[in-house]
Structure 1
Amino acid sequence: MFVVGLTGGIAAGKTVVSARLAERGAAHIDADRLAREVVEPGTPALEAIARRFGDAILRSDGSLDRAALGAIVFSDPDARRDLEGITHPAVQQLSQQRMREATEADPARVVVYDVPLLVEARGTGEFDRVVVVHAPRETRIERMVSLRGMDEADAVRRIDAQATDEQRLAVADDVIDSSGSLDETLAQTDALYDRLAELAAAKAGAAAKAAAADKAADPDNACASRITPPVRSQQPRADQPRPSSVSGRS
């Protein structure tokens, strides 16, 4: 399994990049969507949230009242940590399941895990590569104001609530510079996909050879397949040079 962590600040153009990668054949898994799935009515996570925070965070139909829950956790760090302790493991488990399903037919398929808060919450240790979609702060503010009709002060607050550009770039293996035209961004993304596909094929090939060697050495106990997990630092590397656009580290 070859898993790419895709992240970027608000209005950086991550949606464009993820859609293009999916068009090229990558499996796209959206962390935000999984986070909604794990708290649907009847799920263990929602039951645990209700036990911790009370039935007041539930709507009349049994679904989660996100506004009511947000009013609690955004003003109470301990409550927020309790919530994360419930939801993060559930999202982690579901994401691993979706990754396995996405690569069951093709172990060399690129899996793109779309994580807006990768730096802030997820960490980089489980990914073979980290891709950051980057546009300067001023460009993103302008996009939020002109394209989304957002007040400039509100746009600034939302950007400031996320990791800084420097923090994201410090963990990047590959950077897509989305500050130019759409065609330029798509061309960078196509070049990135070609490189990721090569790396994914190489990893799948190495795993297959290792599994065959295991089977030959001990046919009774060899695993049918072997997944080699990536080895990465869990913390952003502040002293790391900024990768050039679309040219990642090998």
Structure 2
Amino acid sequence: MLNVGLTGGIAAGKSAVARLLVERGAVLIDADAIAREVVEPSTPGLEAITAAFGPSVLDADGALDRPALGALVFADASLREELNSIVHPLVRAEANRRRAAAPADAVVVQDIPLLVETGQVKDFDLVLVVAAPLEERLRRLVTDRSMTLADARARIAAQASDKERAAVADVVIKNFGTLEELRQSVNEIWEAHIAPAINHAH
């Protein structure tokens, strides 16, 4: 099994790279998707969040009100840490369970937005970082995710810098052009870094 960590700043094109890796046969473990699952209604995760933050973070149906929780923790670092201390261990446990369930010869790609910030680099055989120009990332956040420019800048500033990510990357994937160009880059990385590692492991 080859454990690949995939990360990149918000709106750099990480999901597109993840899909292209899956096209090549990788097993994807998406930390964001798991983070949503571990706080669904009647999960221990949601019970722990409600206990910590009170019922104001639930909507009328008893599900997590993400905007309400987001507004609460984005403004307060200690609350953000408290939330992370609940959610991160649950996400990591579920990710490990899925990794253990993958075939022995699998290329397992874990898509982790905060891989650098949470110090998980050492858990992977190969770390891929997706990078895109700042202007393009801001444009995507404003047009695709309806953020204000100020919010978009704040979100980017809250993450590791491109330089910090590049420092721990085995490979930086530059997402500066079309999807076809990105596919070409991913294929080259697969042939150069992933295929030899799988063959070596057998």
Look up the match of 1:124: 121
Look up the match of 2:156: 159
How far apart are residue 190 of structure 1 and its match? 0.7
Q: Equivalents in 2 of 1:61, 1:128: separation in Å? A: 42
Look up the match of 2:39: 39
The Cα RMSD (Å) is: 2.0
* Residue 192, structure 1, aligned to residue 189, structure 2: yes
TM (norm. structure 2) is 0.89
The 3 A distance-change label for structure 1 pair 53 and 10 is: closer
Deviations 1:157-197 (A, max 9, x none): 33222211101101100111111333221111011122313
Look up the match of 1:48: 48
* Residue 3, structure 1, aligned to residue 7, structure 2: no
User: In the alignment, is the contact (CA less than 8 A) between 1:40 and 1:46 conserved in 2?
Assistant: yes
Structure 1, unpaired ranges of 5+? 206-250
How far apart are residue 129 of structure 1 and its match? 0.8
Look up the match of 1:137: 134
The 3 A distance-change label for structure 1 pair 147 and 168 is: same
- SS of structure 1 residue aligned to 2:123: coil
Deviations 1:60-81 (A, max 9, x none): 3221122232233223322222
Between 31-40 and 71-80, report the one with greater CA deviation: 71-80
How far apart are residue 29 of structure 1 and its match? 1.2
Deviations 1:15-37 (A, max 9, x none): 22111110110011111000000
- Larger RCO of the pair (alpha carbons < 8 Å, separation 6+): 2
Structure 2, unpaired ranges of 5+? none
| Higher helix fraction (1 or 2) | 2
The 3 A distance-change label for structure 1 pair 147 and 89 is: closer
Counting aligned pairs with the same residue, the percent is 50
Look up the match of 1:77: 77
